[in-house]
Amino acid sequence: MIQYLRDHPDDVWQWFLAHVWLSVLPVLIGLLIALPIGWLASRFRWTYAPITNLAGVLYTIPSVALFIIMPSIIHTKILSPINVVVALTVYSVALLVRVVADGLSSVPVDVRAAATAMGFKGFGRFFKVELPIAVPVITAGVRVAMVSNVSLVSAAALIGVAQLGSLFTEGFSLQMTSTVLLGILLCLLLALTLDLLILTLNRWLTPWQRAVVSR
């Protein structure tokens, strides 16, 4: 395992970096798209069922299938990493829409009323009161999306997109378990690091949760 790392440090580093942006970018774009849709689903309750049902069906489609169908929808090359980013963005949106909607709906009515009474309205109330209160719920969804993305990205090695999953295809053609193990461990390391990063961000965004606990 160490041997492979010593022999191909540049390859492994390149694959690691590719894996990072292939897993992180879809979650970020996905969250940006899911916020307005989730808001819509929580603001107008009749849209909740159709939106979450559609999201559920999208989430049902196996990721590898989505990687392959993408080129015929967005007219990219079959081996382009953009397919992976777009497919996983669709996944992240499908997962996060429901989470955002539920998070926003969990804001207590009297909190919203108090904010309105204090003069918050429209966008201001959304960004300064409702969204921050929904952060912990949304964080939980983002963690699931991020960690499962790290795993899903590696399957893109099947269709020739280079990232840590390339260690699996490489290991299979060489029949070397150690190479595969290196890939698995690096994936786990990346997933764990990203998860800790999100937790730290959540802590920083919700100082009031600490205040309550430490009292």
Partner 1 sequence: MNGVGAFLTNSAHWTGEDGIPHRLLQHLGYSFGALLFVVLIGLPLGLFIGHTGKGAFAIAGTANALRAVPTFGLLVYVVIALSGALPGNLSYLGPSLLVLVVLGIPAVLSNTYAGVQSVDPAARDAARGMGMTPSQVLWRVEVPNALPLILSGIRNAILQIVATATIAAYVSLGGLGRFILDGLAQRDYPQMAAGALLVSALAVALDLLMAGVQRLVVSRGITGRYARVPLDQRSEPTLTAV
Q: Which positions lie near partner 1, rule CB under 8 A?
A: 57, 60-69, 71-72, 78, 144, 147-148, 150-151, 154-155, 157-160, 164-165, 167-169, 171-172, 175-177, 180-181, 183-184, 187-188, 191-192, 195
The answer to whether 92 and 27 have CB atoms below 8 angstroms apart is yes
Q: Measured from the CB of residue 17, what is the shortest distance to partner 1 in angstroms?
A: 17
Q: Where are the alpha helices (DSSP H) in the chain?
A: 2-7, 9-43, 48-60, 63-74, 81-105, 109-117, 122-125, 131-154, 166-174, 177-205, 207-214
Beta-carbon contacts of 145 under 8 Å, excluding residues fewer than 6 positions away, are 27, 30, 91, 92, 95, 96
59 or 120, CB closer to partner 1? 59
192 or 197, CB closer to partner 1? 192
Q: Measured from the CB of residue 47, what is the shortest distance to partner 1 in angstroms?
A: 20
17 or 158, CB closer to partner 1? 158
82 or 188, CB closer to partner 1? 188
Q: Measured from the CB of residue 8, what is the shortest distance to partner 1 in angstroms?
A: 17
Both structure tokens of 178: 């150690």
Q: Measured from the CB of residue 189, what is the shortest distance to partner 1 in angstroms?
A: 10
Q: Measured from the CB of residue 129, what is the shortest distance to partner 1 in angstroms?
A: 31
Residue with tokens 């290991």: 171
The answer to whether 38 and 52 have CB atoms below 8 angstroms apart is no
Beta-carbon contacts of 70 under 8 Å, excluding residues fewer than 6 positions away, are 76, 83, 86, 87
78 or 111, CB closer to partner 1? 78
Q: Measured from the CB of residue 15, what is the shortest distance to partner 1 in angstroms?
A: 13
d(CA 128, CA 121): 10
The answer to whether 111 and 133 have CB atoms below 8 angstroms apart is yes
133 or 180, CB closer to partner 1? 180
